[in-house]
Chains A and B, each alone.
Chain A
């Protein structure tokens, strides 16, 4: 029987005695290389309980136990260092990019609100918000400069807005330019994240999409952490942040983690969302593990997920019976409201659906990079 150990290959008798050996050089660097390969091979594993150290000492491969231990120590240390620096550097770059993206989103949201108010004094009829407004202002400044070929030309001529003195125009134009360049940075970050995530975690990217995948990785603190989470945790990753927001700003209490922004869930009828979320979380967890350990792309993961969602949809084509549905939700939602919200606890059949909808739009606002910039600033402006 052939057995692979870190120092070489042994040929064993059926009783487990070493008959012959083929050894690697005792160079730690070479041994480390081999060990990476050996971790991937599933054949020639030592049989259960086989004592590699004892066997190799008895067969005279090492002069002493101390030699065995110190060479093994060098190997493991070297290997772990390589693995750590590789894993940490890639994940850290993705995490930093995701957080930078969030910072930019927050900033562009508040700056574009400012621009909307500010420019609105001068030209309230543009109907533009967000990025389109920023580039409009950066281009023209004063509404008197709007080109006759611009669709807003007519409106600019008859605008009821106040005058815009030159000094103010220079300021507001520069402000809009800064905002435009932030939007450009955002695009750049998104492209970077999409690419990096697809390289680091192709299967997660396949199932979650690059932005959701990157957020999961980022909130988990790295791919290895994400791969370690049970799928029940993956379901609620990101809910903490929403909880904070909820406590601070009376936003709806978080029922779900960020995976609810996944199209398979947010386009599904409400009574299926929980079930689909569970299925999705389970597959995401699997995908993260495949990415961590093998790294090869497995398209069948997506097929399986879609098949599973199809089965769920077929199994529950209609909403659950009203009575039990309302009851269950009633007790749950009043429980949720015990918290800081004032909540009147009246969760009737209809308002239930509304609450869901509200909840969703809140989430969209929060993960704005996944939505159009316009919706963002609309939301900011709203009410």
Chain B
């Protein structure tokens, strides 16, 4: 084994790009400055390549390949903006946009959707939301024929079963990130999983039990990785409900958690002099973005001014 990582050359949209051995195509694209949409990919999680929005055209491959997980190989020729790539990405944004509420998914998703000309409305008006809990118990396999006049969605009532965070699965794109963060990639708690199958697949605890009856330890690491706002701090959720969530007025203060000696970096998001949520930088070498319940949620005492 030699110490120096070997480099190789691939071709991206006609230009030669040097990448280190073992790098993914996505790393190569990013290093080369190609803006590539991703939804299910996160640096600190194992790629699940499920959303398919990062696909690129690889010469010689029958289908498009997911850049987030495909390893670069010497001599690969890749197109990132071919008609096939644009079509597939457009459809992914349309399919998600027509079935999931992406309104809190951030500016990038909106920008990418616009870039590829996604028009989710062309699948029809959204079907009425599912009643409380009904999506949680759909059986795998046979289903009744849908009303073809409307587009089925994942819309359903918000799950509020604890004081710390809420689960708004109408916004869930099923990117698997929360499951990975809760499981083997970070927290090792395995409180949540993907249940069901196909369009009825959903994130769930066992038998859709409330989080408070599950293995959940309320570390909030699932919130930290959720790309669409399906998992949010209760504080953020309440402010949004009240129409008073103002990201532009918030400050972010970086500090070190005071609860124990591990030294986790915290980012305190403050609005109107009140902490509204806590994150940790993905690239922080202690946390990789992950915290425990104390660092994540134990900020209430800071803002209690009076003692009765």
A associates with B: no
Chain A residues at the B interface, C-beta cutoff of 8 Å: none
Chain B residues at the A interface, C-beta cutoff of 8 Å: none
